[in-house]
Structure 1
């Protein structure tokens, strides 16, 4: 990784089991606390807990967060490519980029993936297909999204960072090598090391410097020592997941302090 790339802390505010007013207040509190990125996720139903519990849609929430916030970057971890046409996704991303700019450059991260939660597809009438077909669809969408960004008026305020989530070694990591500014996975250190080698080979094959890709992973229930192992491998973006109704923020301050100490030493 580039020596000057800072450690960053993100929080995924999972949009489930809580009223929107609570989500809005938590986002404000997290921005005030100093987190670098706020993510949600792109689903239509809770992923755990009460299966028909409270839940909100991703993109409309991101537009509201773009207007509400002033400093943090925002995005989905991750958008589902299957739910919206490629050109529409590009236009939505560009619009949120402008909403978030506040007279400067935008703060939107285009996090995307091929989709996996079958209930979303069944309930909303999308074709579920197969893992392979959904990845192929994502591979076809990404160039169209990039081409649409180049034609929109007004143009995005910056090169919108593309985050691709997933760890598939044959298709996903090749898409990361071709298109992503950030790669997100749930890998432990041993798995991450192996997959980084595969990503580097894909990057070589497509003529790209793999160091251009920021490495992102989850803090989850990992210990500090386990997170430090990932830092040693080049990971710099770490996400804390939070679910409603309470959104427990008790550990955020400690991770922000750790981030600041790491960055001060760089």
Structure 2
């Protein structure tokens, strides 16, 4: 393909959705995923389930990440994704720096503009519009970067920033300016277009597009969708699992596929 980001090894993530489950089950799932050889474990940043019983069991994102930082040893951890408008950007930067230290430098700051209206209504945040939430994210990202530069102690590393979302005019431009990883959704044709537009934004802002890892959801069998997305430059694939019991069978398949691809 000739694109620098296509030279990266494949990585496999798991999103352990913190819904409809006791925390013991969530902790066991994280431990099992690390034992199986996953690269990254994500949760998500919501206050209520996104599927199933709307008032079902659910746990908060960032306190959980602090616990995962202690409960794991090797894998990277993060939210897929943290909602920007739930926390002051300086506070979020400090939280991320703290989990970065607790984990020994394994945190990824996943962040997005937010979209789940029930979270906003129930917790007293202003929902606004899609445009206003994107504007808030654009303002927050440089503030997070500035706060990291001021904190004592500093983060253990340049904390990777994952931005989720596929908006072609605003979100992908923010990715070009600020992100280490872009996480998007869609069929291969859609992903190919998003990659092309992201590359164009990188050119506009003077960024090497090879610095941005391309990520997407791992849906179905890796043999069905993996090779085509791989050809397009996608290098991170994340399997999502929900409670009350976390079935990691599909994750095993993706890890085996990763190992075959990376062996070449």
- The question of a shared fold, defined as TM-score above 0.5 by the shorter chain, is answered with yes
The two structures have a TM-score, normalised by structure 1, of: 0.96
Unaligned runs of 5+ in 1: none
Name 2:24's counterpart in structure 1: 21
* Partner Cα distance (2:154, 2:221) in 1: 40
How far off its partner does 1:221 sit?
Answer: 2.9
Name 2:43's counterpart in structure 1: 40
Give SS of 1:251's match.
helix
Moved more, 224-233 or 74-83: 224-233
Check the 8 A contact 2:222/2:254 in 1, yes or no: no
How far off its partner does 1:249 sit?
Answer: 1.0
* Partner Cα distance (1:187, 1:108) in 2: 26
How far off its partner does 1:154 sit?
Answer: 0.2
How far off its partner does 1:2 sit?
Answer: 3.9
Name 1:59's counterpart in structure 2: 62
Unaligned runs of 5+ in 2: none
Name 1:190's counterpart in structure 2: 189
- The correspondence of residues 181-220 of structure 1 with structure 2, limited to 5 A, is 181-220=180-219
How far off its partner does 1:187 sit?
Answer: 2.0
Give SS of 1:55's match.
coil
* Partner Cα distance (1:174, 1:261) in 2: 34
Structure 1's 174 and 11: CA in aligned 2 closer, same or farther, altered over 3 A? same
* Partner Cα distance (1:26, 1:194) in 2: 35
Give SS of 1:153's match.
coil
Name 1:110's counterpart in structure 2: 109
Whether 1:10 and 2:9 are equivalent positions in the alignment is no
* Partner Cα distance (1:168, 1:195) in 2: 9
For residues 216-257 of structure 1, give each alpha carbon's deviation from its aligned partner in whole angstroms, at most 9, with x where no partner exists: 001123652322111101100000000000111112222111
* Partner Cα distance (2:5, 2:121) in 1: 43
Whether 1:157 and 2:156 are equivalent positions in the alignment is yes
Which of the numbers 91, 96, 100 marks the counterpart of 1:88?
91
For residues 145-197 of structure 1, give each alpha carbon's deviation from its aligned partner in whole angstroms, at most 9, with x where no partner exists: 00000110000000000000000001000000000000001121100111111
Whether 1:251 and 2:254 are equivalent positions in the alignment is no
The two structures have a TM-score, normalised by structure 2, of: 0.97
For residues 55-91 of structure 1, give each alpha carbon's deviation from its aligned partner in whole angstroms, at most 9, with x where no partner exists: 0000000000001100000000000001000000000
Aligned residues: 261
Name 1:242's counterpart in structure 2: 241
Structure 1 stretches of at least 4 aligned residues deviating more than 4 Å after TM superposition: none
How far off its partner does 1:211 sit?
Answer: 1.1
How far off its partner does 1:3 sit?
Answer: 5.5
For residues 105-129 of structure 1, give each alpha carbon's deviation from its aligned partner in whole angstroms, at most 9, with x where no partner exists: x000000000000000000000000
